[in-house]
Chain A
Amino acid sequence: SQTIHQWPATLVQPVGSPLSLECTVEGTSNPNLYWYRQAAGRGLQLLFYSVGIGQISSEVPQNLSASRPQDRQFILSSKKLLLSDSGFYLCAWSSGGAKTQYFGPGTRLLVL
């Protein structure tokens, strides 16, 4: 069966510091991968998605970036965090042309 992992689970970072969040998927190959952000009291916003290694599509201009160095690894990064980057970051995967997405446990980021 497929599983999706995210780490860290919780992160507290100062404004201006760098960020690296990691997501890995097990039990499938060539998944589509997604990063979403859930701000307090709001729905989920798609940030990035990837259909293959090195292929990244950005949905929202911001100071975040994403990379996919391996087939089942998806990384969310920032060079300098802003207060507005605080939120709950969720990674998701789907297989091939299937529409159903499966979510990881999330990373809670607090920027102070």
Chain B
Amino acid sequence: GDSVTQMEGPVTLSEEAFLTINCTYTATGYPSLFWYVQYPGEGLQLLLKATKADDKGSNKGFEATYRKETTSFHLEKGSVQVSDSAVYFCALSPPGGGADGLTFGKGTHLIIQP
């Protein structure tokens, strides 16, 4: 079945550092790929998405590129802020028109220190 693997952390960085959170997936065909962010005590917010190979999703300074050849969707940000501290989830939805649920990675806890 489908699966998503991401580094679990915690990942601790200093403010203004460069961020990479790795995400790789296993799925048939061309799934849609997502990054969600969860702040303490809250639900998940969609951060960005990509629906086909070589697409780049971007939002709030975060970027991720859909790489079919490496089955990856790594999240990057050039300069992180303390307010970026949260848990980040990589997820996929299989291709096709069905109302399939998302398959999530276990989440990466990011801590940004001032």
The chain A residues found within 8 Å of chain B, CB to CB, are 6, 32, 34, 36, 41-44, 46, 49, 51, 59, 90, 92, 94, 97, 99-106, 108
Residue numbers in A under 8 Å from B46 (CB-CB): 100-102
Chain B interface SS verdict (over half): loop
A37 smallest CB distance to B (angstroms): 11
For chain B, which range describes its interface: under 10, 10 to 19, 20 to 34, or 35 or more residues? Answer: 20 to 34
Residue numbers in B under 8 Å from A100 (CB-CB): 32, 34, 46, 49
Measured between alpha carbons, how far is A32 from B102 in the docked complex, in Å? 12
Task: Decide if B99 touches A94 in the complex (CB within 8 Å).
Answer: yes
> What 0/1 readout, one digit per residue, does chain B (80-114) give for beta carbons within 8 Å of chain A?
00000000010001000101111011110000000
Measured between alpha carbons, how far is A23 from B112 in the docked complex, in Å? 33
Task: Decide if A42 touches B99 in the complex (CB within 8 Å).
Answer: no
Task: Decide if B51 touches A36 in the complex (CB within 8 Å).
Answer: no
Given A42-B106, A100-B34, check contact A59 B43 (CB 8 Å). no
Of B36, B43, B89, which contacts A104 at CB under 8 A? Answer: B43
A27 smallest CB distance to B (angstroms): 16
Closest 7 CB pairs of A and B: A46-B101, A32-B99, A99-B93, A43-B106, A103-B44, A103-B43, A99-B32
The chain B residues found within 8 Å of chain A, CB to CB, are 32, 34, 36, 41-46, 49, 51, 89, 93, 97, 99-102, 104-107
Residue numbers in B under 8 Å from A99 (CB-CB): 32, 51, 93
Residue numbers in A under 8 Å from B100 (CB-CB): 49
Residue numbers in B under 8 Å from A101 (CB-CB): 46, 93, 102
